[in-house]
Chains A and B, each alone.
Chain A
Amino acid sequence: MSKPRIAFFDFSCCEGCQLQVLNCEDELLDLLALVDIVQFREAMTEADWNFDIAFVEGSITREQDEPRLKKIREAAKLVIAIGACSGMAGINAIRNAMPVDKAKEIVYGNKKDAFESTFARPIDTVIKVDGYIPGCPIDRKDFLRTVQALLVGKKPPDHDYPVCQECRLRENECLLTVGIPCMGPITRGGCDAIEPTFGSPCIGCRGLVSEANIESCKQMLEKHGLTIEDISKYMTIFNSFQKEEKHA
């Protein structure tokens, strides 16, 4: 039996998630025993459009992104969104709160007219997506677990539990108990609580758990001394697109 062929694609993003895949140094040989990588701009030059699984990084921000994304969908048996940009528009969506022209001016200054850009969206607003690997950037173990699940025909892990679960199992001192506001209680886990483990609060890069009690969480953060503006900033670093959808 021939090995499944996998390919990587990127749209608007920092390509940090693909870097995480390359960071799987110890596991890369084992991974290549299981799959053939046929497209990976960050690591190889040749491009082959015959593949089974497409891992797509980045948000959709230009009209010309759409046909390229649709072509990927047509070629692939499975499409997996990797990273916050691709799965939920992540940081890119922050600028949706202002007119496109203003955002372009802030970023490109007087060269703004040379760049095309529209609303930032997750890829599932354009095509059907078969799975998500959340995070900014993704966790490499999570990437490997997802590949394994796909190869045996299982649903990839969805980590629909809060960051607090893994944080508590690691016996970190809860930041909330020492007066530091943290988004862990409503943020999807799977990162092994990497931020709180090193003393910084979770800022929600993996998206919200499906049953996030946002109202109560806001009140809690307010009790921890955050102003309404702070809270709103906290909640929109990564999660503004999700919120807009919900309130639409």
Chain B
Amino acid sequence: MEQRVMEKKDVKSFIAELIKLYPAVYGPVAKGKSVVFDRLKDAGEAKFSYTRSILPPKKYLMPQQECIMKFDMPPNPKAESVVEFEDQVIVGVHPCDIRAIKLLDMIMNGGNPDDNYNKRRGHTVIIGIDCVPDQYCYCSSVMDLRCTDGFDIFLTDLGDQVLVDVLTEKGKEVISKIETKPASSTHLKKQDELLEAKKKLFTAKFTGPAQLLPLELEGQWEAPVWEDMGKKCLSCGQCVLVCPTCYCFDVTDELALSMKKGDRVRKWDGCQLAGFAYVGSGENFREEPGARVRHRYHRKFKYHVDSHSMTFCTGCGRCWVHCPVEINLVEISNRIFKREAECKA
């Protein structure tokens, strides 16, 4: 990895240059009191001092809704798959969301590679930036604070200057558009200090190591925490729909009004919605909200750890902020670490 520095005052012209060069540049912009990723028409629109966007930047790799096939109905049936993509830059991505994209890359290249995702991913440049946690961030409990891969370049604010970690060929290309100098040991030391200082800012923390949760979960299938959360859960689905590492979807065929042709559409779906595990025969495999909360938790902290050795929660805090009844995985994890199920017995 190459490390360089640029002057902070040049950041704006850097973004402006990208907007000129790439068909699409996305970045964080204000929406009400919140922030969303949106297309940048002007470098000044970007709001880099944010904590979390409503939806994660994943939406540019796997949109909320996309047509994956166009078809004609009989008598002359025809079907053609659809993959839409263009060269795009996502700027201002935080370490938690960079990690989430890394996890999605793994999933989308597994047993059944996802063409639509992978084509878009291949045409995407990711520019990360460092951040300051709020009371809902808990990345420090589930991942390394130092972001070492999953991006093309990563920017750390050092005050008047910005440290630029350049990781990939694509990264080298974008950064060549602006004047930078090699970073000195003083710059690198400053980055280390910032990371040390950041560690102390987290108020939401796990009481045990996240990597041990698969073991901790053993014998806790019937722990009271699931039913407690199930009683509160409204099954509104917000937690899974805002999650940067969730990738479930539903597929429907939408006929044009002529009834002669149509689109096959996929749309985000998720396991906390009551109908998610409802099957054709009329059964629901996870009828109880508590069973659904338990399933989601295991997806984040057990199943994927067993199969991919990676925790599938990045601690971004989105599910917590959006849950109308404040269900959060920090509280659940800490109850799991306490092994309430056994204490009770």
- Chain A positions within 8 Å of B, measured between CB atoms, are 27, 30-31, 33-34, 144, 148, 151-152, 160-162, 164-165, 168-174, 176-178, 184-186, 209-211, 213, 216-217, 219-220
10 A-B interface contacts by CB (under 8 A) = A148-B255, A162-B236, A171-B54, A173-B54, A177-B34, A177-B322, A185-B235, A213-B235, A216-B233, A216-B325
Cross-chain contact B273 with A27 (CB below 8 angstroms)? no
Q: Convert B49-64 into 0s and 1s, putting 1 for each residue whose CB lies closer than 8 angstroms to a CB of A.
A: 0000011000100001
Q: Which residues of chain B are near A164, meaning CB under 8 Å?
A: 236-238, 241
Q: Does B224 contact A (CB under 8 A)?
A: no
Q: Taking the nearest CB of chain A, how far is it from the CB of B283, in angstroms? A: 15
Q: Taking the nearest CB of chain B, how far is it from the CB of A31, in angstroms? A: 7
Main secondary structure of the interface of A (DSSP, over half): helix
Which chain A residue shows the least CB distance to B252?
A: A157
Cross-chain contact B233 with A213 (CB below 8 angstroms)? yes
Cross-chain contact B324 with A169 (CB below 8 angstroms)? no
Cross-chain contact B242 with A33 (CB below 8 angstroms)? no
Q: Does B345 contact A (CB under 8 A)?
A: no
Given A173-B33, A185-B324, check contact A31 B238 (CB 8 Å): no
How many of B's residues come within 8 Å of A, CB to CB? 34
Contacts beyond the supplied A162-B235, A173-B54: 10 A-B pairs with Cβ under 8 Å: A144-B257, A162-B273, A165-B273, A171-B64, A174-B322, A185-B236, A186-B234, A209-B235, A217-B324, A220-B324
Q: Does B219 contact A (CB under 8 A)?
A: no
Given A168-B241, A169-B241, A213-B289, check contact A178 B55 (CB 8 Å): no
Q: Taking the nearest CB of chain B, how far is it from the CB of A33, in angstroms? A: 7
Q: Does B275 contact A (CB under 8 A)?
A: yes
Q: Does B148 contact A (CB under 8 A)?
A: no
Q: Taking the nearest CB of chain B, how far is it from the CB of A207, in angstroms? A: 15
Q: Convert B151-164 into 0s and 1s, putting 1 for each residue whose CB lies closer than 8 angstroms to a CB of A.
A: 00000000000000
Cross-chain contact A209 with B274 (CB below 8 angstroms)? yes
Q: Convert B314-343 into 0s and 1s, putting 1 for each residue whose CB lies closer than 8 angstroms to a CB of A.
A: 000000011011000000000000000000
Q: Which residues of chain B are near A186, meaning CB under 8 Å?
A: 234, 236
Q: Taking the nearest CB of chain B, how far is it from the CB of A102, in angstroms? A: 35
Q: Taking the nearest CB of chain A, how far is it from the CB of B326, in angstroms? A: 9
Which chain B residue shows the least CB distance to A157?
A: B252
Bound CA–CA A165/B274 (angstroms): 11
For the complex of A and B, the 10 pairs showing the least CB-CB separation, nearest first, are: A185-B236, A185-B234, A164-B236, A30-B257, A168-B241, A173-B32, A169-B64, A211-B274, A173-B34, A162-B236
Given A161-B273, A168-B241, check contact A184 B236 (CB 8 Å): yes
Given A162-B236, A178-B33, A217-B234, check contact A34 B257 (CB 8 Å): yes
Bound CA–CA A174/B34 (angstroms): 9
Q: Taking the nearest CB of chain B, how far is it from the CB of A154, in angstroms? A: 10
Q: Which residues of chain A are near B275, meaning CB under 8 Å?
A: 160-161
Q: Does B31 contact A (CB under 8 A)?
A: yes
Q: Which residues of chain A are near B274, meaning CB under 8 Å?
A: 160-161, 209-211
Bound CA–CA A177/B34 (angstroms): 9
Q: Does B281 contact A (CB under 8 A)?
A: no
Q: Taking the nearest CB of chain B, how far is it from the CB of A202, in angstroms? A: 11
Main secondary structure of the interface of B (DSSP, over half): loop
Q: Which residues of chain B are near A217, meaning CB under 8 Å?
A: 234, 324
Q: Which residues of chain A are near B257, meaning CB under 8 Å?
A: 27, 30-31, 34, 144, 148
Which chain B residue shows the least CB distance to A147?
A: B257
Q: Does B259 contact A (CB under 8 A)?
A: yes
Bound CA–CA A40/B2 (angstroms): 72
Q: Which residues of chain B are near A27, meaning CB under 8 Å?
A: 257
Q: Does B47 contact A (CB under 8 A)?
A: no
Bound CA–CA A160/B236 (angstroms): 11
Cross-chain contact A34 with B259 (CB below 8 angstroms)? yes
Q: Taking the nearest CB of chain A, how far is it from the CB of B150, in angstroms? A: 23
Q: Which residues of chain B are near A160, meaning CB under 8 Å?
A: 274-275
Q: Taking the nearest CB of chain B, how far is it from the CB of A167, in angstroms? A: 9
Q: Which residues of chain B are near A171, meaning CB under 8 Å?
A: 31, 36, 54-55, 59, 64
Bound CA–CA A172/B274 (angstroms): 22
Q: Which residues of chain A are near B258, meaning CB under 8 Å?
A: 30, 33
Q: Does B65 contact A (CB under 8 A)?
A: yes
Q: Does B267 contact A (CB under 8 A)?
A: yes
Given A34-B257, A171-B55, check contact A176 B237 (CB 8 Å): no
Q: Taking the nearest CB of chain A, how far is it from the CB of B51, in angstroms? A: 13
Interface centre among A33, A151, A185, A219, by most chain B C-beta atoms within 10 angstroms, is A185
Q: Which residues of chain B are near A33, meaning CB under 8 Å?
A: 258
Q: Does B231 contact A (CB under 8 A)?
A: yes
Cross-chain contact B233 with A168 (CB below 8 angstroms)? no
Bound CA–CA A152/B259 (angstroms): 9
Q: Convert B256-297 into 0s and 1s, putting 1 for each residue whose CB lies closer than 8 angstroms to a CB of A.
A: 011100000001100001110000000000000100000000
Bound CA–CA A165/B249 (angstroms): 12
State which residues 9-47 of B face A: CB under 8 Å. Answer: 31-34, 36
Cross-chain contact A173 with B289 (CB below 8 angstroms)? no
Cross-chain contact B234 with A169 (CB below 8 angstroms)? no
Given A151-B259, A213-B289, A220-B325, check contact A165 B234 (CB 8 Å): no
State which residues 215-265 of B face A: CB under 8 Å. Answer: 231-238, 241-242, 255, 257-259
Bound CA–CA A192/B65 (angstroms): 13
Cross-chain contact B236 with A211 (CB below 8 angstroms)? no
Q: Taking the nearest CB of chain B, how far is it from the CB of A146, in angstroms? A: 12
